[in-house]
Amino acid sequence: MIGTPPNMIVTEALREEGLRPFGFFEFAWLGVPMALAGMVYMDLIGRRLLPASDSPAAAMGWAGDSVSPPRKPVKMWLCGLILAAVIAVMALDIGRIPLEVVAVAGAILCVLTGCIGKKEAVQAIEWETMILFGSMFSVALAMEKSGAGAWIADGLLAAAGYGSNPYLILAGLMALTMLLGTFLSNTACAVLMAPIGLSLAKGIGANPHAVLMAIAVAASCSFLTPVGTPPNLLVWEAGKYRFLDYLKVGSGLSLVCMAVALLIIPWKWPLFPR
């Protein structure tokens, strides 16, 4: 759940609707096969479409003469133990403590034990993600109260003539979300699409878990441009890629992810459960 912001956004959207939120490791049902399929694609096809590099180690800043921070064994162990404790409490739902409380407690422990300084801790906060995350609830409420979410969902279904075919519905949602990901971040895509997905699920009597899982995955699987997800942008300069490289390699990778999702989601989260 904590692997990427869209996972948490759709989980909170379910919770706000009074529905069962996704479990901590529930995304692994789709994430593991999708990761494996993605690695196979990159090994067999994707890497052959990328520009050749004479010195990948140097491009990534892995040169042998680079200077690193001295290792501090005690703090390394403390940080590792804190991380393990945070993940265990979240995954096992110990004491039913809210995830945000557990995460903040872990961050405070890192500061108190000297694993990270106060200034570094504040600088590490992604304010953009927090603002987008918080604004999601206002956007979702506004789209529900105004009827905009239902109007967009009905328009999507009517325009494409999906009917009740679960594969076409999921494919359409994923394609739209990935398309938005060509110029919006994955977090913004999830914020915009989550209320639309909930309205669509209500309108056709579909399983909201299936719909929101498709949206969450598609938001993080838009590899067509550097801006679709933070890792796309981070490796742009390091790999010395061109904009066209993302389109050539990313289009196939996005299709692979969609294909895996269309196989797993209807099986694990049936769109129209009996």
Q: What does the CA dihedral 215, 261, 173, 226 come to, rounded to 10 degrees?
A: 70
**What pLDDT is attached to residue 139?**
67
**What pLDDT is attached to residue 162?**
55
- The span from the CA of 259 to the CA of 40, in Å, is 14
- The span from the CA of 18 to the CA of 3, in Å, is 23
Using alpha carbons only, give the angle 212, 184, 133 rounded to the nearest 5 degrees. 55
Query: Tokens representing 249?
Result: 């390699």
- The span from the CA of 233 to the CA of 236, in Å, is 5
**179 Rama sector, left if φ>0, alpha if ψ -120 to 50, beta otherwise:** alpha
Maximum pairwise Cα distance, the chain: 62
- The span from the CA of 267 to the CA of 263, in Å, is 7
**What pLDDT is attached to residue 94?**
78
- The span from the CA of 221 to the CA of 257, in Å, is 7
Instruction: Give residue for tokens 């971040």.
Output: 185
Q: What is the pTM of this model?
A: 0.75
Tens-place pLDDT, residues 219-255: 998 888 887 777 887 787 777 888 888 889 999 999 9
**What pLDDT is attached to residue 260?**
96
Q: What is the pLDDT along the chain (274 residues), one digit of tens a residue?
A: 888 888 988 998 898 889 999 998 899 999 999 999 999 999 999 988 887 765 444 444 444 444 457 677 888 888 889 989 988 888 887 777 887 788 889 889 989 988 888 888 888 877 766 776 666 667 666 766 777 766 777 777 676 565 567 788 888 889 888 888 887 778 878 888 888 888 888 878 889 999 999 999 999 988 888 877 778 877 877 778 888 888 899 999 999 999 999 999 999 999 887 7
Centre a 10 Å sphere on the Cβ of residue 144 and count the other Cβ atoms it contains: 16
Instruction: Give residue for tokens 């706000």.
Output: 16
- The span from the CA of 223 to the CA of 179, in Å, is 10
Instruction: Give residue for tokens 């180690």.
Output: 57
Can you tell me whether residue 74 is helix, strand or coil? helix
Pick from 248, 55, 45, 272: nearest CA to 166: 272
- Cα Rg of the chain (Å, integer): 20
**What pLDDT is attached to residue 28?**
94
**What pLDDT is attached to residue 163?**
58
